Structure 1
């Protein structure tokens, strides 16, 4: 018992970032007693075990190291099940898995982060969840609580970094607490100190070329994302661009893609550009009474969407500048509908599209989208 207990006790104490003096105070014993426990010289009185177990939120069996390998395997199983569910887009299952895991391992920062990620994902419009607004409001307090708890106790730098980004996003966008969100963001490392910006010094030959290709892909995506964000969101106060300007900016996004990528090598861009057409460009054209152009863009959006559906789960770019870079078509959602069906339902819910009803070309567009299920 002594050896197992000593290792487990020391682990839990360090996870809580307690000194031996603080642990001694918590359990009303001397610092020397705690030191002897951790050195395996003595064990706590049996009457103290329930108190220590409750303090750390574990069972007495866990505290004594009973079946520690089984406990470790069980924790890994929860994390593996979560990863499988998130990769297949089953966000609601992810929430259930993480909650069940936390009942068994209430102080697991990995499972806290998993639950935080799943709750956050359930409230993202881009995830295709029809209840995203309700979920976002319902879960925001819990997400914030989980994030603060992780930052207060977790010492894993990588995990802390991911949580900081998500938590800052929550404070800025859901609580409108820009000061609190900014304070967290200001603790993040500058971009010039990150791995991706510096690893090239250690690479040579094909490995270096592959790295450059990935960085080009990432840079193009970032540039396109920021232009789209300005098109749609503006400053967050008032729209910055008119319908005419948004249409031109969408053309800029496509031109950037064409500058870097060969025709037919658009990858996930096929999906994002088709969504942007249906959500923004076509409604803008309809509002300007340019119905022929709206129909042409609808057909073009279908072309992009069909190209997306022809992609395998994993695909490799062949364009010389980014040759070898790999992309993935999977998207996370709690919605059982296909991506095409979500686009179609969203399109038909917009009143502006009624201007195209009865048009044969538009009817064909709807048929093409339906056929992608």
Structure 2
């Protein structure tokens, strides 16, 4: 071992904005030890080398200045596994992958963000996930992870995600002033990075950014309309009549189908299908069973379309309004294991109270088949 090791430790410590005292505390050694390592007077005990490597999220070869891409390959593999499980809605496996990633790269702030993100999804998952969220005090862990990302990360995307989660958790805790402080610190929509890039870029890059902005805003508006109609936390659902809710959800789908005008909805086929089911439920509540069945059949079509998509293949949308935009199947909002058709089967069981022995409804149930969905 030579002073190259001490130089690397010093380089990593400074990059992380750590004092010698703080690093010593993290590694459970004296700060004099850190000083001696960095000055080449002594070297860490051999048993500490993997501990130091894991702490900084680098390979042991990197600490010794050797050419090694293993660390980056491993990071990439873990990220791809995480995104793959998110695409499939397998929150349990996505969570386990991020726990593994955090053990291997405890200083990697992007993995901190991913872990907080998937833990947050457990709150709306199946009964076992909700129980884990409560029993393992996920909210406190999410809060701690997000605070660390906000304070230490230089990646604006990760920081924005962390700030958004912090804002949400302050609201859940009743700390409105803290949530407002975060919200006020963020830039407004019209001066966001994406909007400014749409102005700055040129040629095909400009077109692609503008199309991404259009689809993102269509998605946001559509989601917000549905949340106003159905999400209790928004505070409007109880005061809206079924007719008013119907108008909100129909408008939400109209926005998406207008921008994705050619019917090649890709991941949005899932969102459209869920909205069609909501529309069917509202018509059923209004005792308009024929209209309800019309939209249940549309929901079935969208479920089959989504299930038929190979999630591993990278695709672009083909609508004239977004044909430069790449599909992102990991951003589909799915948080259960199983197919969309199975989930529709599960939801039909909930809707049976409105349809009773209706022959067309029973035929649809038989056509779709059973499910193994766990809620």
Q: Same fold (TM over 0.5)?
A: yes
Structure 1 364/109 Cα, relative in aligned 2: closer, same or farther at 3 Å?
A: same
Measure the CA separation in 2 of the matches of 1:176 and 1:310: 43
Measure the CA separation in 1 of the matches of 2:144 and 2:227: 28
Measure the CA separation in 2 of the matches of 1:101 and 1:234: 35
Residue in structure 2 matched with residue 281 of structure 1 by the alignment:
279
* Structure 1 contact 124–136 (Cα < 8 Å) conserved: no
* Alignment coverage as a number of residue pairs: 359
Q: Which runs of 5+ in 2 are unaligned?
A: none
Query: The residue matched to 1:186 in structure 2 has which SS?
Result: helix
Alignment of 1:322 with 2:322, yes or no, is yes
Measure the CA separation in 2 of the matches of 1:198 and 1:184: 22
Measure the CA separation in 1 of the matches of 2:178 and 2:16: 24
* Structure 2 contact 13–23 (Cα < 8 Å) conserved: yes
Residue in structure 2 matched with residue 122 of structure 1 by the alignment:
122
* Structure 2 contact 276–299 (Cα < 8 Å) conserved: yes
Residue in structure 1 matched with residue 245 of structure 2 by the alignment:
246
1:204-256 Cα distance to aligned partner (Å, 9 max, x none): 33333333322222222222111111111266335241111111222222333
Report which of the two structures shows the higher radius of gyration computed on alpha carbons.
Answer: 1
TM-score, normalised relative to structure 2 = 0.77
TM-score, normalised relative to structure 1 = 0.78
Structure 1 298/114 Cα, relative in aligned 2: closer, same or farther at 3 Å?
A: closer
Residue in structure 2 matched with residue 270 of structure 1 by the alignment:
269
Residue range with higher mean Cα deviation, 239-248 or 299-308 = 299-308
* Structure 2 contact 262–318 (Cα < 8 Å) conserved: no
| Residue 197 of structure 1: how far off its partner (Å) | 0.8
Measure the CA separation in 2 of the matches of 1:28 and 1:316: 53
Residue in structure 2 matched with residue 162 of structure 1 by the alignment:
161
* Structure 1 contact 231–249 (Cα < 8 Å) conserved: yes
* Structure 1 contact 302–368 (Cα < 8 Å) conserved: no
Query: The residue matched to 1:322 in structure 2 has which SS?
Result: coil
Query: The residue matched to 2:283 in structure 1 has which SS?
Result: helix
* Structure 1 contact 122–333 (Cα < 8 Å) conserved: no
Structure 1 203/22 Cα, relative in aligned 2: closer, same or farther at 3 Å?
A: closer
Query: The residue matched to 1:326 in structure 2 has which SS?
Result: coil
* Structure 1 contact 123–133 (Cα < 8 Å) conserved: yes
| Residue 147 of structure 1: how far off its partner (Å) | 1.9
Alignment of 1:207-218 (within 5 A): 207-218=205-216
* Structure 2 contact 5–64 (Cα < 8 Å) conserved: no
Measure the CA separation in 2 of the matches of 1:156 and 1:297: 43
Alignment of 1:83 with 2:80, yes or no, is yes
